[in-house]
Amino acid sequence: MSHFPFLDQNATIKNAKEILKDYEDYHNLEQSLKLTIKSPIISDVPKSAPVGNRQEDKVVEKLEIRNYSAFYCKLIRNVVEAMENKDYQIIIRDTYLVDCQTAVSIMMELNLAPAQFYRMKNDALLVFAQTLPPFHDLDGKWIDPLVYKN
């Protein structure tokens, strides 16, 4: 576990889980970005004076969400890759990022008893939270995965 006595470890682990649980949704949006971007169609049809284009606003908003999704997913993947302990990488990647494997299958892969696995999973989540830099969410809210004791 953490050697930082100023961290609320349980709350930090909870934050890391919440951040990682969002990964799948953002990853799906990230993948849809690869499939839906098309060139605009240019037309010679006369247009009326612009009075606001709600359709364009919706398209821009969707692109912003998808671009944020790409940023979010890349950030999470880079943090997991930066973790020095390979077993921690496997636990985080296989639990939250790839195929969301069961705890039992990961325990078997790493040859761990249940108590060892859950202790190591908490350690991995703590290291993930400590490695992840603070970032802004889609609404501009500052997200810091670390929770400090009062």
pTM: 0.80
Instruction: Tell me if 146 sits within 8 A of 132, measured CB to CB.
Output: no
The dihedral sign for the CA sequence 138, 142, 148, 149: negative
pLDDT band at 144 (very low <50, low <70, confident <90, very high): very high
pLDDT exceeds cutoff 60 at 2: no
Instruction: Tell me if 120 sits within 8 A of 112, measured CB to CB.
Output: yes
What pLDDT is stored for residue 83 in this prediction?
96
What pLDDT is stored for residue 113 in this prediction?
95
End-to-end CA distance of the chain: 19
Token pair listed for 82: 């930066």
74-129: pLDDT as tens digits? 999 999 999 999 999 999 999 999 877 899 999 999 999 999 999 999 999 999 99
34-73: pLDDT as tens digits? 665 555 566 666 666 656 667 767 766 777 888 888 899 9
DSSP E strand stretches across 1-150: 135-136, 142-143
What pLDDT is stored for residue 91 in this prediction?
95
Residue 136 forms beta bridges with which residues? 142
